[in-house]
């Protein structure tokens, strides 16, 4: 199955999860709303999917225009229609691969390893990945639980045991963060929101009170119990240690974690908020 087909299938499976997303949606929408400096500001959300993470009506009271980006155009259309009537303040941009390599990676299988040369070519292409959006640059640009999906696509196609896996992962991750800054105007805000660990491997998140959750997440991370490539403390550090990012960062902060109920599993989620200099 191609990566796009897999994401389309997963969006279809979670399309009806509007109610269970309520607390997560409130956290995400509040973070986005607080980043708006003016009701004329423009917001861009990468990985919008079914829009279950986004309270669009509320966000439209804080932003003059919202651009939603996803690989799955069908999910975007259905998600917007469910929440708001036709509104020219919302732009939908489907069929967009933010990595630039999903067509190549979809041909790989861990049991039939890609050659090092093929992965090197993919790395070179990923380093040049860019997307053109008509309303860029934005006052606020956010990636909403997308990075873990991008990493998972590499796990499913290249495989974690491949000698070049970490090289490609780091390239995809860094370019994703750079892309957020590319799409943001000076003085604007970048938000990287990512799921970290689920109740499948960390059942403690299910019983943790809000005040206890930071410790639960820190303990999970210290024991290497987190989704590959999304250690929140590493993500926070990258904003200030990677030269391509540090030169553009005025400040960067890691939020307290919160819970996301995705039906059979509950995820711990947090955000890195950075201001572009």
pLDDT (average), residues 222-237: 98
Task: Please say if the pLDDT value at position 269 is more than 90.
Answer: yes
**Of 167, 178, 194, which Cα lies nearest the Cα of 245?**
178
Distance CA 44, CA 47 (A): 10
Helix (H, G, I), strand (E, B) or coil at 143: strand
Distance CA 276, CA 183 (A): 11
Where helices occur in the chain by DSSP H, the ranges are 3-14, 22-34, 56-59, 73-83, 102-105, 116-127, 147-157, 165-182, 204-207, 213-222, 232-241, 243-246
Rg (CA), the chain: 18
pLDDT digits (tens, 9 = 90+) for 208-229: 999 999 999 999 999 999 999 9
Residue 208 carries which DSSP code? -
Distance CA 269, CA 255 (A): 9
With beta carbons less than 8 A apart as the criterion, state whether 220 and 196 touch. Answer: yes
Q: Is the four-CA dihedral 48, 253, 140, 57 of positive or negative sign?
A: positive
Confidence of residue 6 (pLDDT cuts 50, 70, 90): confident
With beta carbons less than 8 A apart as the criterion, state whether 23 and 29 touch. Answer: no
Rounded to 5 degrees, φ, ψ at 36 are -75, 130
pLDDT (average), residues 160-175: 98
pLDDT (average), residues 5-21: 90
pLDDT given at position 215: 98
Task: Please say if the pLDDT value at position 42 is more than 70.
Answer: yes
Helix (H, G, I), strand (E, B) or coil at 50: coil
Measured torsion, CA atoms of residues 120, 272, 46, 219, in degrees rounded to the nearest 10: 70
With beta carbons less than 8 A apart as the criterion, state whether 32 and 142 touch. Answer: yes
Q: Is CATH 3.40.50.150 what the domain over 3-191 is classified as, yes or no?
A: yes
Q: Give the largest CA-CA distance in the chain.
A: 52
Distance CA 205, CA 218 (A): 12
pLDDT (average), residues 224-238: 97
Q: Is the four-CA dihedral 155, 149, 248, 67 of positive or negative sign?
A: positive
pLDDT given at position 2: 85
pLDDT digits (tens, 9 = 90+) for 76-96: 999 999 999 778 999 999 999
pLDDT given at position 202: 98
pLDDT given at position 272: 98
Instruction: Calculate what percentage of the chain has a pLDDT beyond 70.
Output: 100
Domain boundaries, given as residue ranges, for the chain:
3-191
pLDDT (average), residues 263-271: 95
pLDDT given at position 1: 56
Q: Strands 266-276 and 90-93, how do they pair?
A: unpaired
Rounded to 5 degrees, φ, ψ at 180 are -60, -40
């Amino acid at each position: 199955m191609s990566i796009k087909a897999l994401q389309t299938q997963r969006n279809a499976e979670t399309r009806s999860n509007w109610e269970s997303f309520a607390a997560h949606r409130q956290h995400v929408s509040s973070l986005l709303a607080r980043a708006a400096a003016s009701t004329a500001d423009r917001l861009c959300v990468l990985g919008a999917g079914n829009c279950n993470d986004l309270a669009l009506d509320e966000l439209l009271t804080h932003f003059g225009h919202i651009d939603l980006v996803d690989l799955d155009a069908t999910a975007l259309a259905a998600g917007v229609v469910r929440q708001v009537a036709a509104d020219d303040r919302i732009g939908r941009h489907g069929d967009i691969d933010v990595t630039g390599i999903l067509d190549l990676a979809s041909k790989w299988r861990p049991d039939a390893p890609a050659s090092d040369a093929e992965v090197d070519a993919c790395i070179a292409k990923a380093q040049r990945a860019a997307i053109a959006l008509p309303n860029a640059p934005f006052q606020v640009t956010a990636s909403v639980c997308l990075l873990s999906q991008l990493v998972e696509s590499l796990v499913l196609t290249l495989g974690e045991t491949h000698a070049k896996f970490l090289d490609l992962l780091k390239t995809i991750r860094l370019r994703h963060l750079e892309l957020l800054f590319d799409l943001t105007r000076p003085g604007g805000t970048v938000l990287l929101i990512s799921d970290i660990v689920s109740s499948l491997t960390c059942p403690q998140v299910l019983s943790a009170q809000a005040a206890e959750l930071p410790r639960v997440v820190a303990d999970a991370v210290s024991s290497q119990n987190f989704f590959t490539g999304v250690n929140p403390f590493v993500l926070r550090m990258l904003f200030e240690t990677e030269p391509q990012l540090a030169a553009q960062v005025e400040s960067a902060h890691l939020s307290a974690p919160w819970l996301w109920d995705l039906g059979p599993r509950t995820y711990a989620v947090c955000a890195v908020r950075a201001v572009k200099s």
